[in-house]
Chains A and B, each alone.
Chain A
Amino acid sequence: MTRPLSLRAHRGFSLLELLVAIALLMTIMAAAVLISTQLMRTNNNVTNNVDMVQQGRQFMDQISSDLHMAGFPSYRLFNESGSGTSSSSYAGSATTQSGLLTATSTSMSFEGDVDNSGNVSVVYLELCNSSSTATTCTAPSSTTACPCTLRRGTVYKSVGGTPAYYTELSGVMNITPFIFTDYDGNQLSIPASPITNVRGVRVELQVQSTHKDIASGNYSVVTLDSETRLANY
């Protein structure tokens, strides 16, 4: 009784059974491949976005701590008639304590001992359109001139002249990233005048990824936003 049963079990698959099994396997495999491809694409996009956010955040951090140091040390921290009070040893002037020099919607510059080195630096930030080169920078007049790059340059106030610029962020899509606010937090018209009215700086960036989203075929865009109140004024 046991032998026929055992033989029957050893008989193998019928063709139909095999076909059904293969078809099932194929379906499952296809689904798995589809899912994993999708996952890899998403992974790729997320990696790009993370890089983008990382770079953007780093820039925001940098500008935020730079602005906290803007205007330090101010004119009033020095003996008026003492030695070492040449204009390059303090940020700003006798009347402009904030250290902010220029303020437009695409560029700004300010002075301060931003690295606590004892030397007052002049910090320049500029938004350049897509046809700008390493040596030239033209502010974008419309969004079609972007993706734009944000570059930053510093030079010691005692040295002066044109700073060496470095690209901080590329793929910027909006053309008015810098917004200046007054004591009450109200937005000031550009150019901010008098510049002593500026008490806060808001930076709004729409940054576009350098790689296309494989799934949608579009470039993904993240929006970054930070607001810094000038500490010295």
Chain B
Amino acid sequence: MKTFKTHGAQRGIALLTVLLFLMLLSALAVGMMYMSTTDTQINANFRAEQTAYFAARAGLEEVRDRMRSASANSLNASLPTGAPGSGASSVLYVINQGTDSTTVQPWNASNKYFDTELCHEGTSLYTGTVPTADQPCTTAPSGTWYTSTTTALPLFSSTSAAIPYKWARLTLKVNSSNQNHYVDSSKTASSLVCYTGQYEQILTASSCASQWTASNPVYMITALAVTKDGGRKMLQGEVSLQPGGLFNYGLFATSSGCSAISLTGSVSTDSYTTAGGGTYSSTQTNTGGDVAAVGNISAGGNAASIGGSVGSVSFQGAAGSCTPGNPGASYAYTGSTGDIVTNTSNVVEQIPTQSTPTPEIPTGPTGGANVSGTQTLSPGKYGDISLNAATLTLKAGTYYVNSISTGGNAKIVLQGAVTIYLEGDGPSSSASPLDIEGNGQINAAGPPSNLLIEYAGTNGITISGTPTPALALYAPNAPVSLKGGGNGGIYGAIVGQTVSNNGNVSFHFDRNLRNQFPDASYFTLLGFRELYY
């Protein structure tokens, strides 16, 4: 027995020694692994946060893109029209479920992805005391207050590789949407907000477009992203359409040659504004009737009086004669300087390059029926509209028309804002797409912004001042000929390839057109922030 004990003890020492060494080495190895894991984790946290940031950004950008009417899967028809709390369509959620096992329900306070920001946005959905901006919301509004739709991101949208943004919310902005930064702290917190192209303002008129300075609604997009490894970011952006910049000047010519604008008769320009319901008689001024061109402006002759500034993109600093290939001496006048009405704003200046987007390219005749007698039309496609002693009433909307010609006592009456795309009779035809003459009345009662006419072709356009048309004509490729011959004048703004006159034209620029007709091609991001709490 003793023998066996001794034997066993000796073998035990060897086992213990081996075990001891093994433990020592294991501990060191585990320690090393732990250290390198910490190192990896620091980077993993950073990566998760970055992934969440860009995922939330992706959600925000998806909504910003889909707000456009021209976008695929457009949300344009379901854009909110009232402040949050004014019905189910006032809050729109875009849900990106992916393969997340938790159903994404930002409207449900017990959901993992609850919208913890909405209570901070000054809406009537929350009454009483709400958490401060650094504390998440804990309760959901009651009643029917939201609608939801699903993401349209093309890649991986319903797979585990889906971009991990969970939802994006679209609402209109109100004065107190950012409770720390009111748009105007002296105004009602729940007022809607518009954007003029330079700054935001409180909506006081019936719509942003009819504000004193015409503007567009401001929308808020809020997006939440949560990654699988715990990164979480909530981002918020404010977006709005920009003014299209179609009509920065009363008369503008896109030609870079000599006499792009030729005002050589008894021509006069002045300005007024229809902003805030203004009329010509109440707001007329002998300034602001600005005339500009890419190339040369020739004014003079028999007492041209320009009540505004004269500017050219290629102006070189001195007035003089225009020579071929050098329109830079851009403001040539053949009369004496006394021909120009002298006032402080009447200066010859260089203007920045103007953006002149191309209107819809004519694709040929519209195939619609011709129109000639007294009648009321609904938006749609029509052939040639020729009026003589007839009254044509147009309902609000968009029209595609081959050509319009008026004579005699023809009238065009508008029942709202009308946009007319002149298609012309096809590229091979030389017929004028627009010829307004006679003694009729074209939109005589309404503001020029109610009648936007766009034409992409190159055939000549004639407008006579006698029927006192009020219109905004955008035809950057067509020569425009203005005719005078009586009282009244032409109201609105005109963009042509060249603009010339046959004398006796009095032109009245509606300055409010500068901010109207937003560029609907994209929503500008006005402000952007991360939300922390």
Contacts and interface: CB of A to CB of B under 8 A. Distances in A.
A9 B7 contact: yes
B127 interface: no
Interface in B199-247: 199-202, 238
A78 B46 contact: no
Given A82-B187, A116-B180, A32 B24 contact: yes
B72 interface: no
Contacts of B368: none
Interface in A38-76: 39, 42-43, 46-47, 49-50, 53-54, 57, 60-61, 65, 68-69, 72-76
Contact of B21 (A32, A47, A50): A32
Interface in A186-200: none
A74 B198 CA distance: 11
Given A74-B527, A77-B526, A46 B187 contact: no
Interface residues of A, number: 44
Nearest to A42: B32
A43 B31 contact: yes
B186 interface: yes
Contact of A76 (B7, B182, B526, B528): B526
A61 to B, nearest CB: 6
A76 to B, nearest CB: 5
A82 B339 CA distance: 42
Given A10-B3, A80-B198, A74 B526 contact: yes
A36 B49 CA distance: 37
Contacts of B529: 68-69, 72-73, 113, 116, 231
Contact of B181 (A6, A57, A118): A118
A89 interface: yes
B102 interface: no
Contact of B134 (A43, A69, A116): A116
B49 A9 contact: no
A32 B201 CA distance: 76
Interface in B46-100: 46, 49, 53
Contacts of A89: 181
B180 A232 contact: no
A79 interface: yes
A60 to B, nearest CB: 7
B281 interface: no
Query: Which residue among B21, B49, B528, B530 has the maximum number of chain A CB atoms within 10 Å of its CB?
Result: B528
Contacts of B527: 72-74, 76-77, 232
Give the 6 A-B residue pairs with the shortest CB-CB distance, closest first: A118-B180, A82-B184, A79-B184, A231-B528, A83-B186, A84-B185
Interface of A: 6, 9-10, 28, 32, 35-36, 39, 42-43, 46-47, 49-50, 53-54, 57, 60-61, 65, 68-69, 72-80, 82-85, 89, 94, 113, 115-118, 231-232
Given A35-B28, A69-B530, A79-B183, 8 more contacts: A50-B38, A53-B39, A60-B46, A73-B529, A76-B527, A78-B181, A78-B183, A83-B186
28 contacts: A9-B7, A32-B24, A36-B28, A39-B28, A46-B36, A49-B39, A50-B39, A54-B42, A57-B46, A60-B46, A61-B49, A68-B529, A72-B528, A72-B529, A74-B527, A76-B200, A77-B527, A78-B181, A78-B183, A80-B198, A82-B184, A82-B202, A84-B186, A89-B181, A94-B198, A113-B529, A116-B532, A118-B181
Interface of B: 3, 6-7, 21, 24-25, 28, 31-32, 35-36, 38-39, 42-43, 46, 49, 53, 133-134, 178-187, 195, 198-202, 238, 525-532
